[in-house]
Structure 1
Amino acid sequence: MDSSTIDGVVAAVSAAAATYGRNVLDHGEVAAEQATVRLGRRLLERLRRDPGSDARISGAVLAVADDPEDEDRTAALRAGVERALRREDGLAGELAALLAESGVGPATVPGDRSVRMTTNHGIVSLGDNARNSIANPG
């Protein structure tokens, strides 16, 4: 199972949940949707097609919508996506195709001491003997 597909699906569905909150499960279309949110909704609609996965995926997405910053809720969504991929033949290929169609693909991080992240609120320093500081403008 390709973890980059799972990562892409979880990131897009989480973005949709964070944007729409608990309304993310509704099928209404908003004209000003961002590309990532639109992708998340498409992925979510595909994941929910399987009745066995629908309740679990929906519950996990609603939990993320309630608190998008809670890593445990995102981990539960990831686990739900993994379960769905294990249960349904061909689903991984369909989701990977949707991700590729949108231009979202696996991130490659070449080089020694490279970092791959989705969110950063501070300094990332990988050099030997690096000295970092953040100036306080106040």
Structure 2
Amino acid sequence: MDNSMIDGVVSAVTAAAATYGRNVLGHGEVAAEEATVRLGRRLLERLRRNPDSDAQMSRAVLAVADDPADEDYTAVLRAKVEKALGREDGLADDLAALLAESGVGRATVSGDRSVRMTTNHGIVSLGDNVRNSIANPG
């Protein structure tokens, strides 16, 4: 299973859910919406095409829409995406094509001490003799 693809799908669907809230499951498209949100909606439409996973996927997305900052809801969504990928033939190819078309998941890393990451919640140091510290206020 390609974790970077799952991460890309969950990230885009979460962005759509955070932007539209519970309306994310609707079919309209706002002309000014950003590319990530459009991508999230397209991925979500594809994920919900299978009647066996539609209800579970919808519940997971609505939970994220209600509280986008809750990491547990995002983890449940990720698990539902991963389960759907393992269950439905052709889904991985369809999602990969949508991600590739949008440019998500493409990154070129080259050169000495290069780093590529999806999410970072800390310090990344690549230099010589670097000293890092994080102040904990309060």
Q: Quick check: TM above 0.5? A: yes
Question: 1: CA distance between counterparts of 2:75 and 2:106?
Answer: 19
Decide whether aligned partners of structure 1 residues 83 and 106 sit closer, same or farther in structure 2, where only a CA change above 3 A counts: farther
Task: Quote the residue 1:93 is aligned against.
Answer: 93
> Cα distance, 1:68 vs. partner?
1.0
For structure 1, which segment, 76-85 or 2-11, has the greater mean C-alpha deviation from structure 2 after superposition?
2-11
Task: Quote the residue 1:43 is aligned against.
Answer: 43
Question: 2: CA distance between counterparts of 1:60 and 1:108?
Answer: 32
Q: Which amino acid aligns with 1:92?
A: A
Q: Which amino acid aligns with 2:61?
A: V
Q: Which amino acid aligns with 1:68?
A: P
8 Å CA contact 1:43–1:98 kept in 2: the answer is yes
Aligned partner of residue 84 in structure 1, secondary structure:
helix
Decide whether aligned partners of structure 1 residues 66 and 101 sit closer, same or farther in structure 2, where only a CA change above 3 A counts: same
Q: Which amino acid aligns with 2:92?
A: A
Decide whether aligned partners of structure 1 residues 46 and 73 sit closer, same or farther in structure 2, where only a CA change above 3 A counts: same
8 Å CA contact 2:107–2:116 kept in 1: the answer is no
Question: 1: CA distance between counterparts of 2:3 and 2:116?
Answer: 17
Question: 2: CA distance between counterparts of 1:43 and 1:34?
Answer: 14
Task: Quote the residue 1:117 is aligned against.
Answer: 118
Question: Could you tell me the TM-score, scaled by structure 1's length?
Answer: 0.84
Gaps of 5+ in 1: none
Question: 1: CA distance between counterparts of 2:46 and 2:116?
Answer: 31
Question: 2: CA distance between counterparts of 1:104 and 1:127?
Answer: 28
8 Å CA contact 1:68–1:74 kept in 2: the answer is yes
Question: 2: CA distance between counterparts of 1:88 and 1:32?
Answer: 33
- Please list, as runs of the form range in 1=range in 2, the aligned pairs for 1:31-110 lying within 5 A after superposition: 31-107=31-107
Question: 2: CA distance between counterparts of 1:79 and 1:20?
Answer: 22
Question: 2: CA distance between counterparts of 1:52 and 1:100?
Answer: 26
Aligned: 1:3 with 2:9: no
8 Å CA contact 2:21–2:65 kept in 1: the answer is yes
Question: Could you tell me the TM-score, scaled by structure 2's length?
Answer: 0.84
Q: How many residue pairs end up in the alignment?
A: 134
Gaps of 5+ in 2: none
CA RMSD of aligned residues (A): 2.4
> Cα distance, 1:124 vs. partner?
3.2
Question: 1: CA distance between counterparts of 2:118 and 2:89?
Answer: 29
